[in-house]
Amino acid sequence: MARKMLVDGEAPVADGEQYDYDLFVIGAGSGGVRGSRTAASFGAKVAICELPFHPISSDWQGGHGGTCVIRGCVPKKILVYGASFRGEFEDSKNFGWEINGDINFNWKKLLENKTNEIVRLNGVYQRILGNSGVTMIEGAGSLVDAHTVEVSQPDGSKQRYTAKHILIATGSRAQRVNIPGKELAITSDEALSLEELPKRAVILGGGYIAVEFASIWRGMGAEVDLFYRRELPLRGFDDEMREVVARNLEGRGIKLHPGTNLSELSKTADGIKVVTDKGEELIADVVLFATGRTPNSDRLNLQVAGVEVDQIGAIKVDEYSRTSAPSVWAVGDVTNRINLTPVALMEATCFSKTVFGGQQVKPDYRDVPCAVFSIPPLSVVGLSEQQALEEAKGDILVFTSSFNPMKNSISKRQEKTIMKLVVDAETDRVLGASMCGPDAPEIIQGIAVALKCGATKASFDSTVGIHPSAAEEFVTMRTLTRRVSPTSKPKTNL
């Protein structure tokens, strides 16, 4: 008999009632794998279902590791590495490297090596689950009731499993804009597996994915036009840092089209004809829709178990990741909280500790760091200046540093690194930190620990820097850039 585990507010199971598993997990992405592994480590009997592996997702294709590993963070970062070499080759000349002749880029070789790596990682995740004692079942899972999951295989066969608890970790999928010719566009799934590298690319969107693919394709030699509705890309980030990213994109040769949307796509002999809402026309080899993602919840049959979703299909959960059905839980992008892989891992770990580890643990969403892997990258932790002003009871102190990295002083690349600290004037606590420049994610990860520990500006000032490094600028910003009152109007309309 499966173990009978209770969480506050949960009705006890009748004596003698049996389940196939203590926990059944739908979705073997980052959150699902973490949740199943940690639950098993607490002694739970666990099963997990996932679709057959394929680099491009569909109703019947997925793979262990999920979006991040197979068609997201990992392959994207591999392509960013590949695209970064273009700038490195240019910069190397003033360091004495004499490169004679053309430097050729082999897209198919990179694509093959990228695919080999995600195939390897898919296998790694399967071994991790197997070594943890988790039963792996291939197929698409959906609810029959609050304790039963039906798994459907591509051949049409179905099997049902019962569980004391069900964890939904099905992630999200890229969405398409509803305009004429939308079928001619691709999403990030296909962009990571294109057979041919485009020479002319049009990207619609101003978020992470749009900015990152603009950097990738430009770094590989393509002409890139980036269209977005706002005045600046990366809505939700610090406005000052958004301006820096926009300048860097233009400096790398990417054509920006702020305040512009696409209205129609059509196929021509020369490629895809793109028409904007301003009447502009251009021809592209590929059009990428990077306009957001939708929770993967529509095929889960949630209503039969009384699991509620919001207007976009995100599963509603409480602070412990519990849905409106007491035995059903959900973590990761399918809940549309903070849609980042490490956050899904945190949510899944807290779930397992709460349900199977005898600990009441809530995810802590304060000071979650993140990065945009543009070239160069942007990374932030804590509050932006605009967010700090909205939450502040008193004045905010802003410290900034703009400098030419030592490497650029030799390469002559005109691209400054920008750093910023946002500080509470009354308590001296550092509320937020951001950086745009080489190695920004590596540096901000360390800064995130300091913010999590409640570091003050005095703590930063008293820390000895590492010289020569860019990171030392964070502990040498002594001069106040500006003092801002909460009555000031943040630039939230950008």
Is there a binding annotation on residue 313?
no
Q: Determine whether the annotation assigns residue 205 to a binding site.
A: yes
The whole-angstrom distance between residue 239's C-alpha and the CA centroid of its chain comes to 20
Concerning whether 54 is annotated as a catalytic residue, the answer is no
Residue 63 assigned as binding residue = no
According to the annotation, is 98 in a ligand binding site?
A: no
The closest alpha carbon to 378, from 216, 188, 242, 225, belongs to 242
Residue 65 labeled ligand binder: no
From 54, 165, 257, 467, the catalytic residue:
467
> Which residue spans within 27-133 are E strands per DSSP?
46-50
Is 118 marked as a binding-site residue?
Answer: no
Query: H or E stretch including 420?
Result: strand 417-424
Q: Is 195 annotated as a binding residue?
A: no
Does the annotation flag 294 for ligand binding? Answer: no
| C-beta atoms surrounding 374 within 10 Å | 25
77 is known to lie in a ligand binding site? yes
| Structure tokens that stand for 167 in this block | 């964890």
The percent of the chain in helix, strand and coil, each rounded to the nearest 5, is: 30, 25, 45
9 is in an annotated binding site: no
CA-based angle 26:27:32, to the nearest 5? 95
114 appears as a binding residue in the annotation: no
**What CA–CA distance (Å, rounded) separates 341 from 344?**
5
**Residue located via tokens 């300048």:** 247
Q: What are phi and psi of 490, to 5 degrees?
A: -70, 155
Query: Would the annotation count 215 as a binding residue?
Result: no
Strand spans (E) along 278-319: 281-284, 286-289, 293-295
CA–CA separation, 322 and 413 (whole Å)? 51
Distance between CA atoms of residues 146 and 352, nearest Å: 18
Q: What is the spatial distance between Cα 270 and Cα 268, in angstroms, rounded to a whole number? A: 5
380 is in an annotated binding site: no
**126, 285, 74: which is closest to 194 by C-alpha?**
285
- Does 78 show up as a binding residue in the annotation? no
Contact (Cβ atoms closer than 8 angstroms) between residue 95 and residue 410? yes
210 is in an annotated binding site: yes
Reported in sequence order, the residue ranges of 146-292 that DSSP labels E, i.e. its strands, are 148-152, 158-168, 172-174, 200-204, 223-228, 255-258, 262-268, 271-276, 281-284, 286-289
* 349 CB-contact burial (10 Å; exposed 0-12 / middle 13-18 / buried 19+): buried
User: How far apart are the two ends of the chain, measured CA to CA in Å?
Assistant: 58
Catalytic residues: 467
Binding residues for FAD: 77, 141, 170-172, 333
Binding residues for NAD(+): 205-212, 292
